[in-house]
């Protein structure tokens, strides 16, 4: 399958990318391309122009900012997986990055691309939701910071405006975090994914593939805050979720998996 025709603009700078997005309402950003190119090939996405930000090397970094870590949006999964700053300060992100797709995908795919694509079955958005990450976006009117809790609006839909570029992901340092996912086959998307972290003494739990966006398992968190054990809290993993039914499993099966994987994640935390 060959993508429909599009024009191509290689951005020389972030400002150049923002300007190029402004010239055409049907423009689309290209980072690593590992979500977008399959969509182009299936002709689900038919942008008029691709604005390639893939060479903006200044957006590829992991920086220790004291009590938090800043990750450049173009940092590739393979880099996140072995990054020493993440390994020491927030290893759950590195470990989740090492579970994305397969090695070839991780060599190209970027954290910013994954977050901006907003697939509800995606691993890193779920981990970022559990971490209460902040997302930095730049547009023609400057920069703003969006809390991850209001970033994911629906499947493949985010709070980013048409001319905004996601530039940085900011996460707190946490030393206790787990990400588990159930897949039917190697390299599949998560049938269900569970991120559990302890931040400021409270346990946060987020779920992948349990609704139109990654979701926080608030009932589990409340139960834990009220002193429940792992099994008792995990039994409430399906509350408030809308698990889809598809080839990977029924909604009922996903609700069951969520309970099992939340319990395992809490036990490993």
Partner 1 sequence: MTNVALTVNGERREADVEPRQLLVYFLRDQLGLKGTNVGCDTSSCGACTVLVDGESVKSCTVLAVQADGSDVTTIEGLAAGDDLHPVQQAFHEQHGLQCGFCTPGFVMATVSLLRESPSPSESEIRQALEGNLCRCTGYHNIVRAVEAAAKAGA
Smallest gap, in angstroms, from Cβ of residue 201 to partner 1? 34
Q: What does the alpha-carbon distance between residue 5 and residue 220 come to, in Å, rounded to a whole number?
A: 47
| Residue 30 interacting with partner 1 (CB under 8 A) | yes
Nearer to partner 1, 52 or 64 (CB): 52
- The answer to whether 35 and 75 are in contact (CB under 8 A) is no
| Residue 108 interacting with partner 1 (CB under 8 A) | yes
> Which positions from 136 to 175 touch partner 1 by CB under 8 A, shown as an x/- string?
----------------------------------------
Stretch that binds partner 1, among 49-57, 146-154, 211-219, 237-245 (CB under 8 A): 49-57
Q: What does the alpha-carbon distance between residue 134 and residue 169 come to, in Å, rounded to a whole number?
A: 6
DSSP 180-197: EEE-SSTTPPPSEEEEEE
- The answer to whether 244 and 254 are in contact (CB under 8 A) is yes
Q: What does the alpha-carbon distance between residue 83 and residue 203 come to, in Å, rounded to a whole number?
A: 25
Nearer to partner 1, 34 or 204 (CB): 34
| Residue 229 interacting with partner 1 (CB under 8 A) | no
Q: From the list 17, 20, 34, 100, which residue makes contact with partner 1 (rule: CB under 8 A)? A: 34
| Residue 33 interacting with partner 1 (CB under 8 A) | yes
Tokens found for residue 36: 């977008």
| Residue 247 interacting with partner 1 (CB under 8 A) | no
Say if residue 3 is exposed, middle or buried (CB neighbours under 10 Å; 0-12, 13-18, 19+): middle
Short-list 261, 264, 268, 111, CA closest to 193: 261
Q: Contacts with partner 1 in 53-82 (CB under 8 A)?
A: 54, 78
Smallest gap, in angstroms, from Cβ of residue 255 to partner 1? 27
Q: What does the alpha-carbon distance between residue 64 and residue 25 come to, in Å, rounded to a whole number?
A: 36
Q: What does the alpha-carbon distance between residue 78 and residue 93 come to, in Å, rounded to a whole number?
A: 12
By CB under 8 A, the count of residues binding partner 1 is 29
Q: From the list 16, 19, 24, 52, which residue makes contact with partner 1 (rule: CB under 8 A)? A: 52
Smallest gap, in angstroms, from Cβ of residue 55 to partner 1? 9
- The answer to whether 36 and 45 are in contact (CB under 8 A) is yes
Nearer to partner 1, 79 or 241 (CB): 79
Q: What does the alpha-carbon distance between residue 116 and residue 125 come to, in Å, rounded to a whole number?
A: 9
Tokens found for residue 67: 């009590």
| Residue 25 interacting with partner 1 (CB under 8 A) | no
Q: From the list 25, 186, 200, 201, which residue makes contact with partner 1 (rule: CB under 8 A)? A: 186
The binding site for partner 1 (CB under 8 A) comprises 1-8, 10, 30, 33-34, 37-38, 40-41, 50, 52, 54, 78, 101-105, 107-108, 186-187
């Amino acid at each position: 399958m060959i993508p429909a025709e599009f024009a191509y603009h290689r951005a020389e700078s972030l400002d150049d990318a923002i300007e190029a997005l402004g010239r055409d309402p049907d423009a689309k950003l290209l980072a690593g391309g590992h979500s977008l190119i399959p969509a182009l090939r299936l002709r689900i996405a038919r942008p008029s122009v691709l604005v390639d930000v893939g060479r903006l090397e200044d957006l590829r970094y992991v920086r220790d900012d004291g009590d938090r870590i800043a990750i450049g949006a173009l940092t590739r999964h393979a880099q996140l997986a072995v990054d020493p700053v993440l390994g020491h300060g927030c290893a759950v992100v590195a470990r989740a990055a090492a579970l994305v797709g397969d090695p070839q995908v991780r060599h190209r795919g970027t954290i910013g691309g994954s977050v901006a694509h907003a697939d509800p079955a995606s691993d890193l958005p779920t981990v970022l939701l559990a971490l209460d990450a902040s997302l930095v976006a730049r547009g023609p009117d400057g920069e703003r910071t969006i809390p991850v809790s209001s970033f994911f609006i629906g499947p493949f839909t985010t709070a980013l405006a048409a001319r905004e570029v996601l530039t940085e992901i900011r996460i707190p340092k946490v030393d206790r975090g787990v990400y588990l996912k159930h897949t039917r086959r190697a390299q599949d998307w998560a049938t269900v994914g569970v991120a559990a972290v302890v931040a400021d003494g409270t346990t946060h739990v987020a779920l992948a593939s349990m609704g139109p966006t990654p979701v926080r398992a608030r009932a589990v968190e409340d139960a834990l805050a009220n002193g429940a054990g792992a099994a008792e809290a995990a039994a409430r993993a399906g509350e408030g979720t809308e698990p889809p039914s598809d080839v990977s499993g029924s909604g009922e099966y996903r609700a069951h998996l969520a309970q099992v994987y939340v319990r395992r994640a809490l036990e490993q935390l």
